[in-house]
Amino acid sequence: MDEKGGIFLSRESRKRLEYILSHYLELPKEFVLDLPRITIVGDVQVLVENHRGIIEYTPEKLRVSTSIGELQIEGMGLALRCIQPDEIGVDGKIRSVTLLE
Amino acid sequence: MFLRNFWAYVLGYLVLFVRGGHPERFINLALTRGIVLWDLVRLDRETLLVKVYARSFRQLRHIARRANCRIRIRMKRGLPFYLYRLRRRRVLVAGGFIFCAIVYALCSFVWTVDVVGARRISPETIRRMAAEAGLRPGVLKYKVDGNYVADHLMQRLPGVAFVEVDVKGRAVIRVGERVVAKSETNPCHVIAGKDGVIESLLVLVGSPRVKEGDVVKKGDVLISGIIRPSPGEKSQVRYVAAKGIVRARVWYRSYGEALLSEIKEEKTGRKAKIISLKLCDKEIIIKGPAQIPYRFYRLKVKRLKIPKWREITFPVEFATIEAEEYRRVWVKRSEEEALRLAMERASRQMAELLPEGAAVVRRYWKPVVGGDSGLEAVVLTVETVEEIGVRREFRPKEREQSNDTR
């Protein structure tokens, strides 16, 4: 708590509180903490939920902006199967999925 | 995936080329406006292939301008575009409708009239009579009243027991002919239809072969149709249709038993219905529980299959399974109760054995002793007096050759 009292917390402590809350209430963390949820299906498909837009897209490389940084997917013949405000589906031969902070 | 493709087809979608320095910017702008894009493929450094719903194309133009991209439509796909194209080919559409109309119109006629079951009456006659009542090839189906035609045929055709008329494209008339009793002039015997002891014999025509008190077996000749001249008389052997009333004592026996304790199955009245769709080897349950929730049950299964067409069986099957729950009940009976039940069962069996018109003279019960101790069994014997004579034709010549031993 800071000197003003009440619910105005610093950014760091608010994050910690949210984490503890979600941990105890067993809420899905991707919603409470605004984290991306990344699903990889074999080496053929990647689903990114809760993204914040596309930074770069070529058939060999896809960079997606998320709340915790940048998600980089490398592979061959990447195609964006669907793009919705909260979900991106990527098809193709996936070689690597990297989180860049 | 499938659903989206379906909606895309119904609503219509466009395949676009997006050209420009930063297609990513275009994508992000589309995202923030809530425009759905799919199947994005980067063809080269500058071009992007995008699919988009036709209705959001206008917005997309605006976005393209802001993202410094140019868009070009490569293909228009889906139902709206297809219908639009069809508008220019009205004759084709009209042809489709006319085809359906013709098929429907042809379906409403009676094309042929089949007659089933006619043996003595010629099918031609029946067809002619049906035509009088309105059923003939070429008439409209709904103008024919099947019941009226059936009534008409019943009235006009003698010797017909029933008529059923099925009005379809291939109309079917089912006829049942009455079996007419054979003429009574043919020579015949009266034979015993059952085993028994002759009680009374009244010969109207023919010569008696048995007398009162005789034991006869089924098939024995009671009154012969062969009349031989009495000794000394000079006349030929005559063959007549024997006639007479032969009454005999006949015995029937039935058996009933009841266990002192047994497990019975009883309906509880609860039912479960499962409707499932079978595709190849997979079974998809559309309605009802995945498993039958009872311990004891009986199943009624109805399967609906798409009929085979040219050796191709469709791997689709529609099944309705109905499970009725049963309860197992342990029944205990006292010896008296068991005996009563056994008697009841024996009389029920007897009721089926006894012919109509048989006068019951005596009935007696006999318990079966010995054997299983957990069982009460009883034998019911009924004695009746009834007519046992049955007419049977014979051929005089053969009889003569075999010396009429009967």
Note the pLDDT of residue B404: 44
Contacts of A55 in chain B (CB under 8 A): 24
Note the pLDDT of residue A42: 93
**CA distance to B80, B111, B234, B318, per residue, from B2 (Å):** 19, 45, 104, 23
Q: Cβ contact (<8 Å) for A80 and B37? A: yes
Rg (CA), chain B: 42
What predicted TM-score, i.e. pTM, was given to this entire model? 0.43
Least CB–CB distance from A79: residue in B23, B36, B40: B40
Question: At residue A43, does pLDDT exceed 60?
Answer: yes
Question: What would the pLDDT profile of B388-403 be if each residue is shown by its tens digit?
Answer: 888 888 877 644 444 4
Question: What would the pLDDT profile of B123-165 be if each residue is shown by its tens digit?
Answer: 888 898 888 888 888 888 888 888 898 998 888 887 788 888 9
Question: At residue B105, does pLDDT exceed 50?
Answer: yes
Question: What would the pLDDT profile of B50-95 be if each residue is shown by its tens digit?
Answer: 999 998 899 898 888 888 889 999 999 999 998 888 888 889 999 9
**What does the pLDDT average to over B329-336?**
82
Q: Which residue of A has its CA nearest to B34?
A: A85
Q: Cβ contact (<8 Å) for B42 and A58? A: yes
Q: Cβ contact (<8 Å) for A83 and B42? A: no
Least CB–CB distance from B24: residue in A57, A78, A81: A57
Note the pLDDT of residue B183: 57
8 Å CB contact between B376 and B332: no
Q: Cβ contact (<8 Å) for B4 and A82? A: yes
Interface residue B78 vs chain A (CB under 8 A) = no
**What does the pLDDT average to over A37-64?**
91
Ordered DSSP codes for B214-245: -EE-TT-EEEESEEPPPTT-----EE-B-EEE
Question: At residue A97, does pLDDT exceed 90?
Answer: yes
What are the backbone angles phi and psi of residue B399, rounded to the nearest 5°? -60, -45
| Beta carbon pairs, A and B, within 8 Å | 50
User: What is the least distance, in Å, from the CA of B75 to any CA of chain A?
Assistant: 18
pLDDT band of residue A85 (cuts 50, 70, 90) is confident
Q: Is the ipTM of this complex over 0.85?
A: no
Interface residue B372 vs chain A (CB under 8 A) = no
SS (H, E, C) chain B: CHHHHHHHHHHCEEEEEEEECCHHHHHHHHHHCCCCEEEEEECCCCEEEEEEEHHHHHHHHHHHHHCCEEEEEEEEECHHHHHHHHHCCHHHHHHHHHHHHHHHHHHCECCEEEEECCCCCCHHHHHHHHHHCCCCCCCEHHHCCHHHHHHHHHHHCCCEEEEEEECCCEEEEEEEECCCCCCCCCCEEEEECCCEEEEEEEEEECEECCCCCCEECCCCEEEECEECCCCCCCCCCEECECEEEEEEEEEEEEEEEEECEEEEEEEEEEEEEEEEEEECCEEEEEECCCCCCCCCEEEEEEEEECCCECCECCCEEEEEEEEEEEEEEEEECCHHHHHHHHHHHHHHHHHHHCCCCCEEEEEEEEEECCCCCCEEEEEEEEEEEEECEEEEECCHHHHHHCCCCC
Contacts of B24 in chain A (CB under 8 A): 54-57
Least CB–CB distance from B31: residue in A57, A78, A83: A83
